[in-house]
Amino acid sequence: MMSVAARFGKVWVAAALLLASLVSVPQAAAQDAAPTRIYVIDLNGEFGYDISQTPIRQAMRDARNQNADVVIVKIDAKWERDELTPLPDTEQRFNELFRAQKILPIFADEMNREWPKVPRVVMWVKRAMGGPAFIPFVAPEIYFTADGKMGGVGGIGTMLEGRGDEVVRQKQYSLRMARAEGFLIRGGYDPIIVRAMCQPGFLLTYRMEGGKPIFFERAPERPDEFALTSGEKGDSMQAIVRGTTKSVLTLDADVARAINVSKGTADTLDDLIFQLNLSRNSTIIEGQSKRYMENWKRDLNNATKEIKKTLEEMGPMQEGGGGSGAGNTYEARTQARGKQIRQLDSIINKLKTYEEAFGPRWRQENQVPAIGQLLAQREQLELQQLLDKK
């Protein structure tokens, strides 16, 4: 048996060792600070379809689970009418703000709510035209690639021309503009920038004072002032083709840097990490973000194919009203209706699962009826069954 004194002696030694180890921890930590953990999310493809809230949310949750300190979001969204025709910078896609609104909270309120320690979010812009143009503004740090562009959100003051009364058109423009301005305010940017991006004819000039841009709603009046927009409501064909339009503001790497929207220009991830001052002690997390994005695109494409195939199969039966043609038995008709109902259910389920990506444009392109219409067809089949006679 151990004596009390001996036991106390051992306890004291253990306590002293523990204390020593506790004291030494901060020193060790100071010498070998844990590397900053960087998580990269690549957003590419069609905005609202490939670039959508579900995979982005999955990626951000993965970043949180992997204890990321810095999240870099690279935006390179498609900006083309079709594979051969790029869209001009003056394309009026302001209303994609409402689609962007489904994505923006992921980098704002959701992050505040779900992360134990909010990470540093860096937006890295290659092509953020249309709805994606609003996304970078929610973060206080934006970088551009040398060929980066942000814009394509004109339409305020013009998009409703010819419809209804002027006062209602102004109301619609006003509420849209205030919403867009809000996202810039949240990220710490001057909201006047987005007015110039969205409103053709809005004349915006700036000059630098103490390293900060000062904006004016007028033409330049001094040699150190520069016009960001022309104040005209439209642009010449030459300017449209050459990508030098100025009726609305399109941010490129230089302009964005000049007015302090962009903190720097980087073409490679290494370059960006260097500019973020993280190259000495950082590590890039091998996260799942790429897999989430690819899976999402694959699932959407598969669902689209399956829906189209099912609709093709159903085509003649829809017209036949549930297979009630002459010569069919009651059992055969019942079976046929059962099959159609299952097919409709399968389509409806897919449409609901991928609702965020299967918008009106997708439905039109793929000739898919709205859910309400499919539900009505389903109900019709059930009524036919109710009234059918053996």
Partner 1 sequence: MKTSKVKSLLAGLLCGCAVLSGVCVPVSAALAGTAQITLKDGTVLEGEIVRELEGIVWIKIKSGKSEETRMLTPDEVKSIARDGGATKPTSGPTSGPATEPKQDKPTAPAEQPANAPATPSATAATPAGSSGETQPRKSGVPRAAVITLGEGGDRDKVGVYMMAKPLRDAIPLLKQENVDIVVFRINSGGGALLEIQKLSDVIYNDYRKNFRTVAWIDYAISAAAMTSHAIEEIYFTPEGAYGACTGWSGDLVAVKDRDLEQILFQMEKISTRGNHPFEIMRAMQIMEPLSATVSSSGDVTFYQDETSGDILLNPKDRVLTFNSQTAAQVKFSAGTATTLDDLAKVMQLPEIEWVGVKKPGFMWPICRAEQMQIDFREKTARDEQQFDEYVQTLNQVLGMGQGQDDERRAKLAGKARECMNKILAAVNNNPNMAIFKFGIMPDKFREEWVEPTEKKIKEMTKKEKK
- Is there binding between residue 214 and partner 1 (CB under 8 A)? no
Kindly tell me which residue out of 6, 14, 168, 332 binds partner 1, with binding defined by CB under 8 A.
168
- Is there binding between residue 161 and partner 1 (CB under 8 A)? no
Coil vs helix vs strand at 122: strand
Hey, what's the torsion of the CAs at 13, 14, 20, 21, to 10 degrees? 160
Query: Degrees (nearest 5) of the Cα angle 215, 218, 221?
Result: 90
Distance between CA 19 and CA 16 in Å, rounded? Answer: 5
- Is there binding between residue 163 and partner 1 (CB under 8 A)? yes
What's the half-sphere exposure (Cβ side, CA atoms, 13 Å) at 255?
21
Distance between CA 51 and CA 380 in Å, rounded? Answer: 37
Tokens of 331: 């059992």
**Between 113 and 222, CB nearer to partner 1:** 113
Whether residue 103 contacts residue 77, with contact meaning beta carbons closer than 8 Å, is answered with no
Q: Which of residues 100-119 bind partner 1 (CB under 8 A)?
A: 101-102, 108-109, 112-113
**Region of 23-31, 34-42, 168-176, 226-234 interacting with partner 1 (CB under 8 A):** 168-176
Residue of 36, 44, 114 lying closest to 289 (CA atoms): 44
**Region of 72-80, 180-188, 302-310, 313-321 interacting with partner 1 (CB under 8 A):** 180-188
**Between 179 and 263, CB nearer to partner 1:** 179
Kindly tell me which residue out of 186, 233, 257, 263 binds partner 1, with binding defined by CB under 8 A.
186
Classify residue 95 by its DSSP letter: G
**Between 1 and 386, CB nearer to partner 1:** 386
Distance between CA 104 and CA 387 in Å, rounded? Answer: 51
**Region of 199-207, 223-231, 291-299, 380-388 interacting with partner 1 (CB under 8 A):** 380-388
Residue 19 has φ and ψ, to the nearest 5°, of -60, -45
**Region of 17-25, 165-173, 207-215, 316-324 interacting with partner 1 (CB under 8 A):** 165-173
**Region of 36-44, 199-207, 274-282, 374-382 interacting with partner 1 (CB under 8 A):** 374-382
- Is there binding between residue 182 and partner 1 (CB under 8 A)? yes
Whether residue 82 contacts residue 30, with contact meaning beta carbons closer than 8 Å, is answered with no
- Is there binding between residue 379 and partner 1 (CB under 8 A)? yes
Contacts of 121 by beta carbon, 8 Å cutoff, 6+ apart: 70, 71, 73, 107, 111, 139, 141
CB 149, min distance to partner 1, A: 24
Give the interface with partner 1 as residue ranges (CB under 8 A): 101-102, 108-109, 112-113, 160, 163-175, 177-179, 181-183, 185-186, 191, 372, 375-376, 379-380, 383, 386-387
